[in-house]
């Protein structure tokens, strides 16, 4: 049975025999928390900052023995793909009481709490209180990461290796202010491994080969080489392999209506097949000792 924290997350456990395969979608949520108190009207947030339909694309994981974790809230409220102390201090009305690790994403306004959403929608006309940010971490960030941690520990208690696919979507073309330049056509798919630090080469090679066999272009460790969720959980020498997957949105959705696109059914079938293959790979490789 699925575990649900209303407005926060939904966890879909494996059905039947568990395999050491974890799928997560931290940015597909679209719910706007009632206590957000941000500047933009809801319609301005509906089409931006969201990995539309990504959890749906990988919903075959449980029936194949994997598990799927998805966030339900908008990522600009709190970005699960950031460390809990990756805080843009310009947003705060007082000094942060603990250590900070501001990343380049924070300096761009898209750290743990977003200052703006693409292309130039300002989120707040006020400063956030320290208590407000701490509450978001406690109520939204921590439960998601607690479940991921528990799944890694649980599966590694039964297998020698665990395989994690961190699933995302990419706008077809880069927006104003994007580091790669406005209008740049993104690759069809990208795999991020933190340049080999978050996953072993057999898993990466398997993913690249299977995606190419499905007929899609794939780039490994290009512009999107991985963020917190893979750098934090991936440790191939310890048997934890974590890869970020970015999928270009025009492959499966209509970016104007935000609904399913004309190729949805064929693309969903391809992702179902990929999901099944990942779970089979995880089972066959999961009992081998990490190299």
pLDDT for 78-98, tens place per residue? 999 999 999 999 999 999 999
Q: Are 179 and 45 in contact (CB under 8 A)?
A: no
The pLDDT, as a whole number, for residue 158 is 96
The pLDDT, as a whole number, for residue 112 is 98
Cα-flanking dihedrals φ and ψ of residue 214, to 5°? -80, -5
Q: Are 70 and 165 in contact (CB under 8 A)?
A: no
**What are the residue ranges spanned by the domains of the chain?**
3-82+148-286
Q: Are 72 and 10 in contact (CB under 8 A)?
A: yes
Buried b (16+ CB within 10 A) or exposed e, 43-82: eebebbbbbbbbbbbbbbbbebbbbbbbbbbbbbbbbbbb
How many Cβ atoms sit within 10 Å of the Cβ of residue 15? 13
Average pLDDT across the chain, whole number: 94
User: Tokens representing 12?
Assistant: 């879909």
Contacts of 35 (CB under 8 A, 6+ apart): none
Cα-flanking dihedrals φ and ψ of residue 28, to 5°? -90, -5
How many Cβ atoms sit within 10 Å of the Cβ of residue 116? 19
Q: Give the integer Cα–Cα distance in Å for 222 and 103.
A: 19
How many Cβ atoms sit within 10 Å of the Cβ of residue 91? 20
- pTM for the whole thing? 0.96
Number of H helices, E strands in the chain: 8, 10
Report the relative pairing of strands 9-12 and 3-5 from DSSP bridges.
antiparallel
The pLDDT, as a whole number, for residue 120 is 80
The CA-atom distances, in angstroms, between 274 and each of 110, 203, 214, 281 are: 31, 13, 8, 10
Task: Tell me the CA end-to-end span of the chain in Å, nearest whole number.
Answer: 35
The pLDDT, as a whole number, for residue 179 is 67
- Regions in the chain scoring below 70 on pLDDT: 175-179
pLDDT for 258-284, tens place per residue? 999 999 999 999 999 999 999 999 999
The Cα angle at residue 219 between residues 217 and 224, in degrees rounded to 5: 130
CATH among 3.90.230.10, 3.40.630.40, 3.40.50.1580, 3.40.50.1360 for 3-82+148-286: 3.40.630.40
């Amino acid at each position: 049975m699925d575990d649900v924290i209303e407005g926060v997350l939904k966890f879909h456990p494996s059905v039947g025999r568990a395999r050491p395969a974890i799928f997560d979608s931290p940015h597909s949520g679209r719910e706007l928390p009632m206590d957000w108190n941000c500047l933009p009207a809801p319609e301005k947030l509906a089409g931006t900052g969201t990995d539309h339909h990504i959890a749906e694309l990988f919903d075959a994981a449980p029936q194949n023995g994997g598990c799927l974790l998805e966030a339900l809230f908008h990522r600009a409220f709190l970005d699960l793909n950031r460390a809990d102390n990756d805080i843009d201090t310009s947003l705060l009305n007082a000094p942060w009481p603990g250590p900070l690790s501001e990343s380049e994403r924070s300096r761009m306004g898209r750290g743990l709490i977003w200052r703006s959403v693409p292309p130039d929608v300002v989120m707040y006309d006020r400063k956030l209180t320290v208590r407000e940010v701490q509450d978001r971490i406690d109520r939204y960030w921590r439960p998601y990461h607690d479940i991921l941690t528990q799944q890694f520990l649980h599966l590694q208690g039964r297998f020698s290796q665990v395989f994690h696919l961190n699933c995302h979507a990419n706008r077809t073309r880069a927006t104003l202010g994007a580091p790669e330049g406005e209008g740049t056509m993104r690759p069809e798919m990208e795999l991020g491994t933190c340049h080999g630090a978050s996953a072993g080469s057999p898993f990466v090679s398997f993913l690249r080969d299977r995606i190419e066999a499905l007929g899609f272009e794939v780039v490994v460790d290009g512009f999107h080489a991985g963020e917190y969720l893979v750098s934090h959980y991936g440790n191939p020498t310890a048997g934890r392999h974590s890869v970020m997957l970015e999928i270009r949105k025009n492959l499966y959705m209509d970016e104007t209506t935000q609904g399913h696109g004309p190729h949805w059914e064929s693309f969903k079938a391809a992702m179902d097949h990929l999901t099944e293959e990942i779970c089979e790979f995880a089972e066959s490789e999961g009992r081998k000792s990490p190299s």
